[in-house]
Amino acid sequence: MKAYKGFKKLEDGTLWCRGFQYEVGKTYKFEGKPILCKQGFHACHESHQCWVHYPNNGENVYYEVECSGTIVESNDGDGKFVCTEITLVKEIPAPENKFDYCSSFRNGCAKVRLDDKWNIINIDGKLLSEQWLDYGGYFQEGYARVWLNGI
């Protein structure tokens, strides 16, 4: 199954996730039982879902991966799953805007934070406000509550 995964990229170019080093083109197999957030190889169904776990802070990169073997889906609606086999296929572009935190997506939008300021992005990584805000709420029915200068 085609999926997406985020990694921390070190200065030497190596890719890491949960204490495990990866290389492009190699297939990795986990012999145990895959358990979400504990063991196995984690990935997401959509590329933007990776930003929740690996925000676009300049240290993380994103890859298209091929997942197979035993697959256990998250029932949180966050698009994450864990599998027993994974192959890194190719790097995919990061969003053009940096952020150090990304909430889960709701209605195609998520809150992002950078230097204690907030904005809202869509699944393409585009900022929905030209100005960074004091706070941004979750989107519901096309609207989100926001604060700027205490209002």
Grade residue 151 by pLDDT with cuts at 50, 70 and 90: low
The domain of 35 spans: 2-92
Same domain, 82 and 43: yes
Same domain, 14 and 74: yes
Same domain, 121 and 140: yes
Same domain, 77 and 141: no
Which tens digit of pLDDT belongs to each residue from 9-63? 999 999 999 999 999 999 999 999 999 999 999 999 999 999 999 999 999 999 9
Of 4-8, 39-43, 56-60, 137-141, the poorest mean pLDDT is in 137-141
Same domain, 34 and 82: yes
**Model pLDDT, residue 148:** 76
Which tens digit of pLDDT belongs to each residue from 55-85? 999 999 999 999 999 999 998 878 999 999 9
Residue 138 has pLDDT above 80, yes or no: no
* 8 A C-beta contact, residue 121 and residue 104: no
Q: How does DSSP assign the chain, residue by residue?
A: -EEEEEEEE-TTS-EEETTEEE-TT-EEE--S--BTTTBSEEEESSGGGHHHHS--SSSEEEEEEEEEEEEEE-SSSS-EEEEEEEEEEEEEPPPSS--SEEPPPBTTEEEEEETTEEEEEETT--BS-SS-BSEE---BTTB--EESTT-
**Model pLDDT, residue 72:** 96
Same domain, 44 and 86: yes
Give me the torsion for CA of 66, 82, 26, 4, rounded to 10°: 50
Residue 122 has pLDDT above 70, yes or no: yes
Q: Which of 59, 75, 92 is the last residue of a domain?
A: 92
Same domain, 132 and 88: no
Same domain, 15 and 84: yes
Tally of domains in the chain: 2
**Model pLDDT, residue 106:** 84
